[in-house]
Amino acid sequence: MSPIADAEIHLSFFGTEADASAPPSGLLARAAPRRAARSRERDALFLALSLNSHAPVPPERVNELAELAADAFFGSPGSVTSALREALATVNARLLQTNLRGVAAGQHTQGSLICAALRGPDLYVATCGPATGWVAGGGGTLRFAAESRGHALGVSQAVAVQYFHTQVGPGHLLALCAAPPPEWETADLTGLSATAAQEKLNRLPGSHAAVLVEFAPPEGGRETGDGRPTIEDRGPKTEDRRPKTVD
C-alpha cells in the first residue's frame, strides 16, 4: 500500500538541464528496495543534492553520490533519523576522500544535500548546507532550512546535520531543492498542486532543480502486494520552522 494509508504519492522533477528524458542530476526518489535493512521496509526517500566546485561537476558524478546516499539510508537499521544521518555522512566521507586526492591540483568540491524520509504520515527531513525543503498544506507553508548555511558536505569529518519533522496527508505538497535561489526563500506554495507550484517557482528569478511530491487522495488502491510504498512518477519537467532533533 501507499506509505500513507489514505494518500497516493505523485512525483515530479523539474530543472534547467537539457535532457528532458531523465530527472535533473542530483534529484532522486526511492521506495524501499526488497533488501532494505530492518525497519526501512516501510520507508520512502526523496532527496536533492547539489555539488559546488571550481570546475563543472559532471551530472553522472552528482547522480552517483545521490544513489550512494539512498543506498546508505536503506542499508541502515535503526531509527529514521539515524538512517538519514548515515546518508549524509556517507556522501560527506566520499567528498572528503575525493577532496584529499585533489589537494595538489587545487580541486575542492562541496555538497548541499536534503533528504526527506516518509514513514506513514510522518515526514522526517535532514539537511546540510543551503538545501531547503517546503511542506505546503493545512493553511500554510513550512520551510525546512538549516540555521547556519555555511556547513557544507565535504568540508570536515564532522557533519552538521539538522533535523525536522512534520506530518503529511492528502492535499499536502513537498518540495526539495539543494541550492535554492534567494527568491525562493519566501515562496508560499499553500494550496498549490505540483504543476502550479512548478509554474510559480519557474516564474521566480534564478530557478533551480527541485523535487515535487504531491500527496493526493487514492484512486483505486495502488498496492505492490508486499506492503512496501509505491511512488507514481509523473516524469521529469524542463511559518519557518526552527531545527529540532527527532528521536
Nearest 10 degrees: CA dihedral of 40, 41, 47, 51? 60
Mean pLDDT computed over 192-199 = 91
Sequence-distant (6+) residues with CB within 8 A of 110 are: 51, 52, 53, 95, 129, 152, 153, 154, 155
For 49-61, write each residue's pLDDT tens digit.
Answer: 999 988 888 999 9
Grid coordinates standing for 198? Answer: 512548478
Instruction: Check whether 95 has a pLDDT greater than 80.
Output: yes
Number of neighbours of residue 55 by Cβ within 10 angstroms: 9
For 107-160, write each residue's pLDDT tens digit.
Answer: 789 999 999 999 999 999 999 999 999 999 878 999 998 776 558 998 889 898
- Asked if residues 61 and 71 have their Cβ atoms less than 8 Å apart, the reply is no
DSSP class of 61 = H
What CA–CA distance (Å, rounded) separates 21 from 52? 24
